[in-house]
Structure 1
Amino acid sequence: MAGTEDSPARKHVAVLAFPFATHAAPLLHLVRRIAAVSPATMFSFFSSEKSNLACFPGGKRSGGDGSACPNLVAYDVWDGAPDGYVPSGRNPVEPVEIFLRAAPDNIESVLHVAERERGCKATCLLTDAFYWFAADMARERSVPWVPVWTAGPCALLTHMETDAIRQMYATSGETLDGIPGLSALRMVDLPKELLDAISPFPTLLYRMGQVLPQATAVVCNSFEDADPIVQRELRSKLQMFLDVGPLVLSPPPALSDEHGCIPWLDEQETASVVYVSFGSMLRPPPHEITAIANALDKTAFPFLWSFRGDAEAELPLEFLDRATGTRGKVVPWAPQLHVLGHRAVGAFVTHAGGTRCWRA
């Protein structure tokens, strides 16, 4: 017999996605797999309207990959931007900061709507690890909180050791010899967010590192023994550390290619193309963009550059004149998963994510 609202017989997992860059897609990939093997459990997926439109091409009651998934429903969370808002362009993470300021109240409001519609209170919060405030939400509801870290374990450990790293920077300023698992890293190898104690996004990462030990379990996009020393440190600091990766992204069957990237790649030789993309949030400074353009120009390899911005204004004119149209292609957006899976792509130039940190 079906349970009534708040009945322990009913399970309702509230999934709180971070709707920027590639965070929502791997979380949805994980949720789809769990939902498929637990059909009696309800899953409510919360993200921005723009993010949900990209993740759920078959509609908000689909599995996000075009398939039917009756126990998974998406809900839109307001992005916090006022009517008529246009990003200034001076701060690429400005939309993120606006969203985060409004996120706790907005998510709470939509969660109440989902609980009413589905007839069951949330019994678990499965969230992006960025949502440090979810610790309070889970505690107030007396339900488990399971944050998902979509990068690797080394980056996660650095954010949990931020205080120690800042102390070392203030004294030695060179290496991380005193932290097990991070001794091969130098200060210059670390993302600048670790040493920034003022800006909103670094503050979010710091708070995240402080509250993760409160989580019932922390899920990491890694695999068993990928980095034994780092993972041992994380297990000693967290109640439970779960490797669930690598989270392979599955592109939707009908992904837009309005700029003709795939037909262009079809004409290139196998493993000959350099694909360049720095994501939707972060971008190199002007002098680095110029250096990349010059390097591509000199290599003579064909290239595809997904360039967020005004290419004609920001790329060297001589580069555009010589390289594009003959052996290169610059587009404002590319179907990245399909591009990376194409036989013609032999190299990928990217920033590897703003919060990632790899061994030297």
Structure 2
Amino acid sequence: MEEQKRRGIRLVLFPCPFQGHINPMLQLASILHSKGFSITIIHTQFNSPNSSNFPNFTFIPIQDGMSDVQPTVALFSQLNVNCAVPLRDCLLRLLSSGDAEGGERISCLISDAIMHFTQGVADSLKLPRLALRTSSVESFLSFAAAVSVSRQKSSLPISDSQLEMPVTEIPPLIAKALPTINTNDIEILFQLLGSTVDQVKASSGLISNTCDHLEQSALATLAQEFSIPVFTIGPFHKLFTASSSSLLSQDHSCITWLDTQPPNSVIYVSFGSIVGMDEAEFVEMASGLANSKCPFLWVVRSGLVRGSERVEPL
């Protein structure tokens, strides 16, 4: 009965065009489609998903002004600028043409939280927007805490005693342990995170790729800091896999080794497609994993170590 009520309602989803963001968004789309909603995916041409793997969804590409770009923090900010007008124009066309194909009513826009410009676009069209956090609530609280402390540091004289104060959102860290604004990349990062946090607070709700049992205390803190509904319907991958939405050819050579390991025994490490580290950090991470005496699978992509395409220290 509930699924029948949802027929005729279309949801528009707009992912951030990076692997760790596209996968959860398409998993969420699959979950929502299984509940009776029609799905439209508006996406950038940069890192566009393979629409042939999702025949039940409607895919609409928009211009993003990106070509031959390297994944950096600044790229997130550039996407937030370049996509604003194309996304608004696309949504306006959908809304003015009987809302969507078949006359279906568009109920809301669901966009990746880091694509913070979408809140302004949704507001201008009087369309509710739900933000999606593709990773843990704890990580989002750490973003909010870092933004709060960095804003204090950049606008107020902070005493030594204040720097020793605990960060209530992410104990046991203290204020001076959080990053400071001292380089262009860090400044861009905090501007991005600040806008992300602010626009999540302005949204109609937050969808989180987690569940209550995993992050009970973090969710309690989030409820105190954010006066919006929070929907914990993850982990998404337990309901729908994302293998068909990979942007890269997948290396399956590790599977044979994985199959020989006991269940729940392997540490999996991946820093995504943006994070970089210097050689000393890389060696320290490798040493920590080796000293754990646990089997581990570490995704070491080309370019992870700054200034080196290879990973000789490993």
TM-score normalized by structure 1? 0.65
Q: How many residues align?
A: 290
- Paired with 1:193 and 1:102, the residues of 2 have a C-alpha distance of 25
Tell me which moved more, 210-219 or 245-254. Answer: 245-254
CA contact (8 A) 2:81 2:117 kept: no
The answer as to 2:232 corresponding to 1:243 is yes
Q: Give SS of 1:148's match.
A: strand
Relative to 1, partners in 2 of residues 1:211 and 1:106: Cα closer, same or farther, differing over 3 Å? Answer: same
CA contact (8 A) 2:80 2:117 kept: no
- Paired with 1:143 and 1:257, the residues of 2 have a C-alpha distance of 34
Q: Give SS of 2:116's match.
A: coil
For residues 302-317 of structure 1, what are the structure 2 equivalents within 5 Å? 305-309=299-303, 313-315=308-310, 317=312
Structure 1 counterpart of 2:20, from 15, 19, 22: 22
- Partner AA of 1:308 in structure 2: S
The aligned counterpart of 2:82 is 102
Q: Deviations over 1:25-67 (max 9, x none)?
A: 10111121111212xx43211222353334x342xxx2xxxxx
The Cα of 1:195 is off from its aligned counterpart by: 11
The answer as to 2:270 corresponding to 1:270 is no
Structure 1 counterpart of 2:9, from 8, 11, 15: 11
Higher relative contact order (CA 8 A, sep 6+): 2
- Paired with 1:99 and 1:256, the residues of 2 have a C-alpha distance of 18
Relative to 1, partners in 2 of residues 1:192 and 1:220: Cα closer, same or farther, differing over 3 Å? Answer: farther
Alignment RMSD, CA only?
4.0
CA contact (8 A) 1:148 1:220 kept: yes
- Partner AA of 1:46 in structure 2: I
The aligned counterpart of 2:63 is 78
Tell me which moved more, 15-24 or 218-227. Answer: 218-227
Q: Give SS of 1:22's match.
A: helix
CA contact (8 A) 1:77 1:110 kept: yes
For residues 291-302 of structure 1, what are the structure 2 equivalents within 5 Å? 291=284
Q: Give SS of 1:123's match.
A: strand
Q: Give SS of 1:199's match.
A: helix
Q: Deviations over 1:185-230 (max 9, x none)?
A: 2346646689989733321210121232322211122211534443
Q: Deviations over 1:115-168 (max 9, x none)?
A: 446256743111111122222222222232211111222222344445642367
Structure 2: gaps spanning 5 or more residues:
1-6
The answer as to 2:139 corresponding to 1:155 is yes
The answer as to 2:72 corresponding to 1:92 is yes
The aligned counterpart of 2:166 is 176
How many percent identity over aligned positions? 16
Q: Deviations over 1:290-327 (max 9, x none)?
A: 5556778999x89765322399954465x58xxxxxxx
- Partner AA of 2:252 in structure 1: I
Q: Give SS of 2:138's match.
A: helix
Q: Deviations over 1:165-190 (max 9, x none)?
A: 2367633223425x3x4332234664
CA contact (8 A) 2:92 2:125 kept: no
- Partner AA of 2:137 in structure 1: P
The Cα of 1:73 is off from its aligned counterpart by: 0.9
Q: Give the number of the structure whose residues are more often helix, by fraction.
A: 2
The Cα of 1:253 is off from its aligned counterpart by: 5.4
Rg: which structure is higher?
1
TM-score normalized by structure 2? 0.73
For residues 1-360 of structure 1, what are the structure 2 equivalents within 5 Å? 10-38=8-36, 41-54=37-50, 56-58=51-53, 62=54, 68-69=55-56, 72-81=57-66, 85-87=67-69, 92-115=72-95, 116=97, 118=101, 119=103, 122-162=106-146, 164-166=148-150, 170-171=158-159, 172-177=162-167, 179=168, 181-187=169-175, 190=178, 199-236=187-224, 237-248=226-237, 250-252=241-243, 261-263=251-253, 265-266=255-256, 269-270=260-261, 277-291=270-284, 305-309=299-303, 313-315=308-310, 317=312
Q: Deviations over 1:76-109 (max 9, x none)?
A: 122322xxx434x6x7334333322202112112
